[in-house]
Amino acid sequence: MVLGSEVVGATPFLRDSHMRYLVAMVFAVIGAGLAMIFISSQVADWVVARQTFESSDDAETLNMLVFMASNIVGLLIGWLVGWTIAGAGSADSQPS
C-alpha cells in the first residue's frame, strides 16, 4: 500500500526547481497569446506597409514572417517574466 506522503515525496515535479519551469511555461503561453492578439498583427502590417513588392506573394510572406517573429518575441518575454517571478521566492535565489 502506498501512502500519500510517499507519492508526493517521490514526485520530482513538485520540487521548487521544477515548478519554476512550469510557471515559466505558463507565462510563455500567456505572453505568446497576448502578443498574437494585440501586437503581432499591427507590427506585421506596419512592416509590410513600409516596403514595396513586385508580387502580393512577397508581401504575404513578409507579413507571416513578421507575425511569427513577433509571437516568438512575446513567447520569450513571457518565459523570462515567468522565470523571474517563479525564482523570486525560491530558496536558491536567496543569499545565504
**Domain boundaries, given as residue ranges, for the chain:** 16-88
- Quick one: cell of 2? 502506498
Cβ neighbourhood burial of 87 (10 Å; 0-12, 13-18, 19+)? middle
Instruction: Say how many CA atoms lie within 13 Å of 20 toward its Cβ.
Output: 15
Can you give the pTM of this predicted structure? 0.74
Question: What's residue 46's pLDDT?
Answer: 97
**Band of pLDDT at residue 17, cut at 50, 70 and 90:** confident
Contact residues for 30 (Cβ-Cβ < 8 A; gap 6+): 78
Q: What percent of the chain has pLDDT over 90?
A: 68
CB 29 within 8 A of CB 21: no
What are the pLDDT digits (tens) for 38-78? 999 999 999 999 999 999 999 999 999 999 999 999 999 99
Share of the chain above pLDDT 70, in %: 75
